[in-house]
Amino acid sequence: MPAEISKAKQNSENAVLAWLSIIAYRNKDKKPGEKLVSVSNVVKEHWASYGRNFFSRYDYEECESEGANKMIDYLRDLVSKSKSGDKYGKFENAYIEQFEPDVSKHDMDAQTALKPLIDPALSVSKLKDFTGREKPTVIT
């Protein structure tokens, strides 16, 4: 098994074990027939105390290099006009994230909550113009 798959599998197993430990601890004093605390309950309590971070990633797999490189050059020029400095890192993925402290919005779908950020990002990047892609291959 390749190392990256093995590491991902190990991380997944550790996440499951962590959640099982949390749920076991939160339900340790429950009597038979009492309603148990669920993962959803724990997550919503956490969001109520600390807020929620909405997150999304748009993957455009197997894009032609020429169009993707032209888009990066365009964005690099756009950024250099608004900021000084020539420090650019390697572009691999675009992530969109927003913190939401308002409890009444915590149950929103991430794509709905992030739409006011996603739409302008896609427009400014001119991704469709450069890559010809109407939509992402994968939305996470």
Spatial separation of the C-alpha atoms in residues 114 and 97, rounded to whole Å: 7
The whole-chain average pLDDT of the chain stands at: 87
Q: How many domains does the chain have?
A: 2
Same domain membership, residue 11 and residue 22: yes
Q: What is the mean pLDDT of residues 79-85?
A: 62
Residues 9 and 27 in one domain: yes
Same domain, 33 and 96: no
Per-residue confidence at 88, pLDDT binned at 50, 70, 90? very low
pLDDT at 89 over 60: no
Give the tens place of pLDDT for each residue, 97-113. 999 999 999 999 999 99
Q: Which domain holds residue 86?
A: 52-140
**CB 127 within 8 Å of CB 70:** no
Both 61 and 74 in one domain: the answer is yes
Question: 74 and 132: one domain?
Answer: yes
CB of 122 closer than 8 Å to CB of 128: yes
| 1: pLDDT strictly greater than 70 | no
DSSP string, 2-59: -HHHHHHHHHHHHHHHHHHHHHHHHTTTPPTTSPPPPHHHHHHHHHHHH-EEEEEEEE
38 and 59 inside one domain: no
List pLDDT tens digits, range 33-59.
Answer: 999 999 999 999 999 999 999 999 988
Same domain, 93 and 134: yes
What distance in Å separates the CA atoms of residue 26 and residue 32, rounded to the nearest whole number? 14
| 23 vs 4, more confident | 23
Q: Which residue has better confidence, 114 or 87?
A: 114
